[in-house]
Amino acid sequence: MEHPGRRAPSCTILESGCVGRRRGRPGLSEEREMPRGDTPARDASGANVLLPTHATRIVSLVPSVTETLVAVGLEDALVGRTDFCVHPVSLAGRVPPVGGTKNPRLEDILDLAPDLVLANREENREIDVRRLRERGLRVWVDHPVTLDDTLEQVRRLAALGAPAEPATALLDRLAAAIARAAAKHPARARSCFLACWKDPWMTIGRETYAHHVLAASGLANIFADAPGHYPRTDLDEVARRAPEIVLLPDEPYFFTAVDVDELAQGPLGDSPAVRTGRVHVIDGTLPFWHGPRLAEALEVLRRLANNESAPASA
């Protein structure tokens, strides 16, 4: 999840998820035939989608997916992105934005005539996915949760027509990072509170990608037993669970050193994390973005779990 909030419900759309009619679009056929060689698959919304084996016009509505597409060599196929798809910086001025993740401009997306739109079950709204499909666009909705899921996501995106070398290199790098983290994280997992919002305070449950990234790094999510994906809490409850490490990401909520000081002066003042100076503001993309950032996330978080100096961000 790159922005916290209520998890979007599963999409209920046409079973094919890809073929329909467009009206009033010059130069576009009213009904598209799927190119030969397309691969049918069921996505995270429950729809059967024919994924192209050589996509040439992709709109990505997920910042981490946009970054992954570039990493596997599909930058030239990107024709649209969200306002929040700012990595890599090479996209600025070349790939037009189509609005936010929660409020994409559907007409702009239609005008781009993509052969595939990529969305995420938590990041994007079901109604936007449904409206795009009703207008005849092919939309793939994903929802990686485990580290294996994110590796599979890379493979699936690469299968859209990426050259073999960059995709293989990325997968090898991520697999090596997972193995290295498993070999080097502390023998005893350190209890950790990862905040993702403030006023109200929100954290992560066990069925989230961030939970699995923490676990692979040697950090035990103190709210793993809480119901829901992003449960609300308060600082008194956090203090009661006595975290050894507190992580304050700089997105989606922009936590800063001011929040570190406030925690030290509030209910967490006597917590193990505050007493030992282990309240850290971190790059918020690391625990929440799937794809290439997983390698850096595991290294940075593992070092924090071991109380080592974290490496500088690349």
Q: Can you say whether the dihedral through the CA atoms of 82, 86, 87, 93 is positive or negative?
A: positive
Q: Domain segments of the chain: what residues? A: 39-162, 186-305
Q: Residues 19-43: pLDDT tens digits? A: 333 333 433 333 334 334 577 899 9
Q: How wide is the angle at C-alpha 12 spanned by C-alphas 9 and 15, nearest 5°?
A: 145
The CATH code that applies to domain 39-162 is 3.40.50.1980
Q: What is the distance between the alpha carbons of residues 259 and 266, in angstroms, rounded to a whole number?
A: 10
> pLDDT tens, 214-268?
999 999 999 999 999 999 999 999 999 999 999 999 999 999 999 999 999 999 9
**Which CATH number is 186-305's, of 3.30.750.24, 1.10.357.10, 3.40.50.1980, 3.40.50.970?**
3.40.50.1980
pLDDT tens per residue across span 33-73: 433 457 789 999 999 999 999 999 999 999 999 999 999 99
Burial class (CB in 10 A: 0-12, 13-18, 19+), 148: exposed
Note whether 39-162 and 186-305 share their fold.
Answer: yes
- C-beta separation of 210 from 217 below 8 A: no
